[in-house]
């Protein structure tokens, strides 16, 4: 058997409101309610609901032979529950089919796995496990980190939390001659299965599908299915990992992206040698061929597939250090609202907006920033963080 493994990320960062220096000590409304409401409602109508409907149609049509996986951040869950609960209901309907796996990730979609001096990563993951079980009825057993961030060291932390299946990027500089279309394992533990994203075939959908200058445009379901099968002549599984917003936002409905999704399975499942499997099924079905060594963190972002989009300059490093410097006080804090704000301030996008690195034009359309410059993003975030730090100090001093 040869397998196709689809995994979709659903994450929606909460935009911060414009917060000036003179607001410090006076305003505690850090997030722009109206922009966040408008954005999530628009995404739900253009992307999530129509795509979910197609997935349900496919699951019914192929009687359980079509399967996918989702990873939904805590911020996305909270915004959907507040402004588009019909999306949560449609995801719950998908969960009932037993053809959709829900993965675990850090609840706040944070960079906490890169913080060596705190156990915020572990706390955040446990929070997500609990929430996913509450919403979809099953404890998640496979893990994907924020933006597929991974290293050997992070893999050990994930394993200690009970996960034996981890999804990450099939970055060229760590693959070398290895084939991403096999299951690999952690160098120190062959029971920790590593599923690697096939970057080219995933990005053909998420980044290039609508590009009329692409030499393969237009991409049809039949052509793409042929590519998948050809790539599996040597390999067990092709992992297609992508942002769910590829369906309806990055590729507009008029591009034909929904028809592509609707017709792709028929060109795969016409041959009984091929199957759609969830990440956990892939890990159970196939033997881990060999170890994959990842000494330094990788991710699925930008050409370099590293972490420099979040921690690549002094602005980002300073904001990151300041955020996690108050962790010991946060652990003592009993105020539920402050704890929730701390989680929301960890979202990786806040740091991404501070990036100064140049991007390939291929990646720019999917990475919109609400700020005029990285420096504006940094100043706005640090103003908010300054106010928040003072509130945390006041709260912990009162309780001690």
Task: Please check whether residue 377 is in contact with residue 369, taking contact to mean a CB–CB distance below 8 angstroms.
Answer: yes
Contact 340, 346 (CB under 8 A): no
User: Over the range 39-78, which residues count as b (16 or more CB within 10 Å of their CB) and which as e?
Assistant: bbeebbebbbbbbbeebbebbeebeebbbbbbbbbbbbbb
Among positive and negative, which fits the CA dihedral 215, 220, 224, 229? negative
**Model-level pTM?**
0.95
Average pLDDT per run of 10 along the chain, which is 400 residues long? 98 95 96 96 98 98 97 97 98 98 98 94 97 98 98 98 98 94 97 97 97 97 98 97 97 97 98 97 96 97 93 98 95 93 97 83 60 97 97 81
Which runs of E-coded beta strand occur in 255-349? 274-276
Exposure string over 144-179, b if 16+ CB within 10 A, otherwise e: bbbbbbbbbebbebbbeeebbbbbbbbbeebeeebb
- Residue 378 host element (H or E): helix 374-399
Rounded CA separation 27/181 (Å): 51
pLDDT at 359: 57
CA distances from 76 to 61, 110, 155, 167 (A): 29, 13, 25, 20
In angstroms, what CA-CA distances link 386 with 57, 110, 313? Answer: 49, 19, 20
| Calpha distance 337→110 (Å, rounded) | 18
- 356 in helix, strand or coil? coil
End-to-end CA, the chain:
61
Q: Measure the CA–CA gap between 127 and 105, rounded to whole angstroms.
A: 10
């Amino acid at each position: 058997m040869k397998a196709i493994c689809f995994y979709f990320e659903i994450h929606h960062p909460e935009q911060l409101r414009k917060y000036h220096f003179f607001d410090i000590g006076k305003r505690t409304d850090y997030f722009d309610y109206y922009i966040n409401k408008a954005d999530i409602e628009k995404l739900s109508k253009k992307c999530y609901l129509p795509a979910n409907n197609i997935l349900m149609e496919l699951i019914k049509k192929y009687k359980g032979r079509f399967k996918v996986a989702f990873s939904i951040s805590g911020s996305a869950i909270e915004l959907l529950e507040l402004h588009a609960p019909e999306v949560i209901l449609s995801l719950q309907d998908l969960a009932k089919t037993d053809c959709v796996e829900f993965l675990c990730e850090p609840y706040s979609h944070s960079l906490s796995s890169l913080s060596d001096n705190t156990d915020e990563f572990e706390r955040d993951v446990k929070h997500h496990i609990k929430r996913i079980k509450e919403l979809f009825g099953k404890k998640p057993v496979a893990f994907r980190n924020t933006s597929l961030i991974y290293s050997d060291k992070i893999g050990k932390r994930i394993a200690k939390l009970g996960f034996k299946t981890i999804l990450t990027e099939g970055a060229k500089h760590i693959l070398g001659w290895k084939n991403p279309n096999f299951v690999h394992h952690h160098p120190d533990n062959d029971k920790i299965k590593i599923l690697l994203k096939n970057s080219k075939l995933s990005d053909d959908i998420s980044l290039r599908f609508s590009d009329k200058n692409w030499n393969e445009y237009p991409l049809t379901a039949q052509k793409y299915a042929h590519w998948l099968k050809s790539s599996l002549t040597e390999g067990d599984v092709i992992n297609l990992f992508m942002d769910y917003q590829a369906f309806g936002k990055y590729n507009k409905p008029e591009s034909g992206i929904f028809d592509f999704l609707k017709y792709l399975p028929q060109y795969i499942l016409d041959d009984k040698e091929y199957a759609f499997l969830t990440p956990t099924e892939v890990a159970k079905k196939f033997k881990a061929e060999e170890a994959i060594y990842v000494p330094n963190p990788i991710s699925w972002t930008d050409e370099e597939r590293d972490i420099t989009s979040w921690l690549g300059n002094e602005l980002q490093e300073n904001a990151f250090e300041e955020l996690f410097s108050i962790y010991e006080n946060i652990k003592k804090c009993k105020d539920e609202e402050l704890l929730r704000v701390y989680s929301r301030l960890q979202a990786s996008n806040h740091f991404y907006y501070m990036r100064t690195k140049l991007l390939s034009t291929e990646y720019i359309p999917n990475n919109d920033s609400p700020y005029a410059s990285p420096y504006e993003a940094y100043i706005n975030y640090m103003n908010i963080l300054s106010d928040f730090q003072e509130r945390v100090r006041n709260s912990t001093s009162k309780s001690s």
